[in-house]
Chains A and B, each alone.
Chain A
């Protein structure tokens, strides 16, 4: 019975995910994948992936969601767009990878120990708070969360950068942070109220 429930959940999730991916601009081109492997061979980091980009598409279409979302593949994508420009079926693979990243984080299914989701969340917090990124708070918070000991190793480099005046310690806060918050809120309301159905296939939160 436990398996049934898991299967049902997987099935339901599968529908949500398919809809989400098909919903991004150009997303339903994924149906035209002929599994040629150009993406994997163009990808500079595919050698380190547990599933190549092509395998991720195949797994996705087969409904093997756990495999897709728990892979390190989506976090190793550096968005270099080599796959996108070479894909003979015109699949916007990089954009799909971004959507998979978002789905993995949203549903809490990201790979155990993956550092990229941590960085992304911190990045968003800082930008939402200040309007711009602040490298020093970003890097220090990130290191504290993922590799505190590694922070020690970074000190020499940090020192060198500091000495050369390349370490802006205080974040710059723009005037429009409240404004941006308001805009985002209004946009979400518009999506939820259905007046402007989410063009990306689902509601944002």
Chain B
């Protein structure tokens, strides 16, 4: 449902010479809904991913904050709680897997901004997106609960990246507030209220589009924008783009390649105002 994220992320990583290899036979990390039924089994799922990554001698990069949180939690518990560790390792052993705790779990945004850096990103810019006003939407689980990547209330890492690629991140006080997550499925009314607040704030601050770093946030903000309008009588038409799609545009990839033509709320109009080829 969000293959645009996948496509654009791979393209951007390719352009930045980040060697991305899909984790062999990876499984669901056990976040949110799974955790509501099983705790240890959820961590076992994460541990399997970590063990496979360790075997392949690679760190794990994820594009979903929920995966980030669950995998990181598993790592923390394994390091801090010896009984937890013995239990999980007993489970892994049945698949002839071991995990020694060496795998680092990172979000792609964090890798690009902290490891790759400004110069490398700027060097690949082929299109200017000058004047494009973007609301940087972080959502909840990128910086909470651990706060390892950025500030838990007012992070700035995405703002920084958006500036590097030439866009104009707007002031967005609700940037790290909840989109409702899976509540859109189970308690739609409540989730719509949350999304309405986000869209309203973005619009009040002059945003022409919203940049996302989480597939579920993206879904709620974009795919359900029509439902927000229906429920509240509003008229939002704010396109949402993954940060990798915006980067991809700046790097010169086509809309089709980046999956931008798959969106429900067309960004064409907004983008056309600001896209400018360099050269």
Residues of A within 8 A of B (CB): 24-25, 44-45, 48, 75-76, 78-82, 84-85, 92, 94, 98-99, 101-102, 105, 114-117, 119-121, 123-124, 127, 131-133, 135, 139, 142, 157, 160-161, 164-168, 174-176, 179-180, 182-187, 190-191, 195-200, 204
A101 and B36 contacting across the interface, CB-CB below 8 Å: yes
B33 and A123 contacting across the interface, CB-CB below 8 Å: yes
User: Within the assembled complex, what's the spacing in Å between the Cα atoms of A196 and B92?
Assistant: 14
Interface residue tally of chain B, by bracket?
35 or more
Q: Which residues of B contact A180 (CB under 8 A)?
A: 27, 44-45, 48, 95
Instruction: Tell whether B100 is near chain A: CB-to-CB under 8 Å.
Output: no
Q: Which residues of B contact A120 (CB under 8 A)?
A: 33-34, 36-37
A196 and B36 contacting across the interface, CB-CB below 8 Å: no
User: Within the assembled complex, what's the spacing in Å between the Cα atoms of A147 and B44?
Assistant: 33
A174 and B145 contacting across the interface, CB-CB below 8 Å: no
Instruction: Tell whether B114 is near chain A: CB-to-CB under 8 Å.
Output: no
B36 and A116 contacting across the interface, CB-CB below 8 Å: yes
Given contacts A25-B80, A85-B152, A131-B27, whether A48 and B187 have CB atoms under 8 Å apart is: yes
Closest 5 CB pairs of A and B: A187-B91, A81-B144, A123-B33, A186-B94, A80-B178
B3 and A165 contacting across the interface, CB-CB below 8 Å: yes
Q: Which of the residues A45, A121, A160, A199 comes within 8 Å of B83, measured between beta carbons?
A: A199
B94 and A185 contacting across the interface, CB-CB below 8 Å: yes
Q: Which residues of B contact A186 (CB under 8 A)?
A: 90-91, 93-94
30 A-B residue pairs with Cβ-Cβ distance under 8 Å, sorted by A, are A75-B186, A75-B187, A76-B190, A78-B140, A78-B182, A80-B178, A82-B140, A84-B144, A92-B145, A94-B145, A98-B35, A101-B36, A115-B185, A119-B182, A119-B185, A124-B37, A160-B264, A161-B264, A164-B264, A165-B3, A176-B25, A179-B95, A180-B48, A184-B44, A185-B94, A187-B87, A191-B40, A198-B83, A198-B87, A199-B87
